[in-house]
Structure 1
Amino acid sequence: MSRGVAALAALAAVGGGCVLGGCRVEPAAGPGGQGAPTRVGLPSGTPSARDSGPGAPRDDPKPASPPASRPPSQRPAPVLWSRGDSGPDVRELQARLRQVAWLYDGPTGTYGDLTERAVRGFQGKRGLPRTGATDRVTWQRLLGMTHEPGKWELYLMGGQPADAPDPRCLTGRVLCISKASRTLRWMIDGRTVSTTEVRFGAKGTPTREGTFRVYWKSRHHWSTLYDSPMPYAMFFSGGQAVHFSADFAARGYAGASHGCVNVRDEAAIAALYAQVRNGDKVVLHW
């Protein structure tokens, strides 16, 4: 029995069976028939009037309870990536945001303002905190709505690494063009001078593979067949040439050529055009 309950039982006994909490304690008969009040003991730790005041003994204060921890459901989810981050994981995030039409530029591999805005919009649409940072909850929701991006979804707007050069590219002056990595290496005696991103023909108009030679250069060339510009054209096989493509610069790998090797970087193709000579080798390989 607790002390509080024991004290209430004592009150009941003194009151001769009165109702607990509402009884009046009658004085007991003292000497000479005078009634003297009987003081009923209070539960331990309950102060009385005489126990208060300066110098009175005090019970040790009850230690304060530690603050209650926040429920797991209310704790912020760990942030995986946020503005300023970069790398292959950010590139995958951007590719998946493109799949659900929240991002239209990139992937670039760098978490900039456009990616932050896309993440914030994605979060708000699904009732998540609109932080713009990709936390674990946001990432799991995005994973459930998208498929794993393929290589060219990840490098739609460039940035892909070049693969190893073909052995035919290791001697002489060579435009070494890889369909596997979609890159063009300008090589002299086995040394890579520069590398740039390229794209090729569509399924119905494929870019030819093999070893060729540059046979004609045309700085301001215009295609009469397709009625389109082909600046910095370096022809290597029939009507197929390496040249700058404004469409490639604008749309990336969402488009294709009619068989030519398109270069998206105008400054890179201008520098390349100035160095390449008629008779230089062109190797197109996988």
Structure 2
Amino acid sequence: MHRTRVMIRTLGVATAVALAATACGPQKAESTGSASASPSSPAAGASPTATSDDKPAEPSDSASPKPSASASQSPSAKPSSSVSPTPAVKPIMANGDDTEQVRELQARLRQLKLMSVAPTGFYGSKTTAAVKTFQSKNGLTATGSVDAATWKKIEAASKKPTPQELNPPTVNEPDAPDPNCMQGRVMCISKESRTLAWMIDGKVVSTMDVRFGSENTPTREGVFDVGWKAKDWTSTIYHTPMPYSMFFSGGQAVHYSADFAARGYSGASHGCVNVRDKGKLSALFDQVQVGDKVVVYW
């Protein structure tokens, strides 16, 4: 199959194909992934979608010691006065969750002027801070997590979000830059705000919405360099177009995604950083040089 490649770095054809062997394509958010997405594969890394594994576990009944036979037969033995601790209230939503209910929560918090960023569905530090503020103002314990009592009050204080409020057409507000983004030429990519900020010496030149890989095929986090670029590229694994690809970690690249443009955050990549504004990415592609920094962070 013929493909036109614009290779800025001097690489052999075999090397370029090898680097792109893990190149990603779109997938549904509910995809279960495949064996190639295991943590040991090239596409592995920290997951962009957190789970609720850090929620408090229910206390075990087996934790209370049982009296021995000798103790129960002794006339001096007294029944234990220990009381099992009251289990913590299990939150409905908490830091690290990534759900449509979180999107609704964020939209309601925007109605209450407690959040300025567009809903993303990811429960991060900004959502936690907004929830704490609401709880403090409404006589609730300021945990930053949403339990049943907090959710009931938020629902009472706001209205059901419209589709436009849940998925506003405006670009997401960029997150505070990672310290590694403050010097040089950097594509500064925040997983929490789901934005890419093109920065030069600490100044934001342009921003755009992005999406990432699913839990099974996560986008790697860290500090990288643009290794090579290809204006017209097709994934060698998923056989999907990847226009304006800027590869920064093996087969993971920043590139335009028609699927992202059509479905938004209902889908996910196989590890790449998808951009849905083709015009903005085209302009960025012309500015970015091989060797420029790429920072992916929460």
TM-score when normalising by structure 1: 0.47
**Structure with the larger strand share:** 1
Higher relative contact order (CA 8 A, sep 6+): 2
- Structure 1 or 2, whichever has the larger Rg, is 1
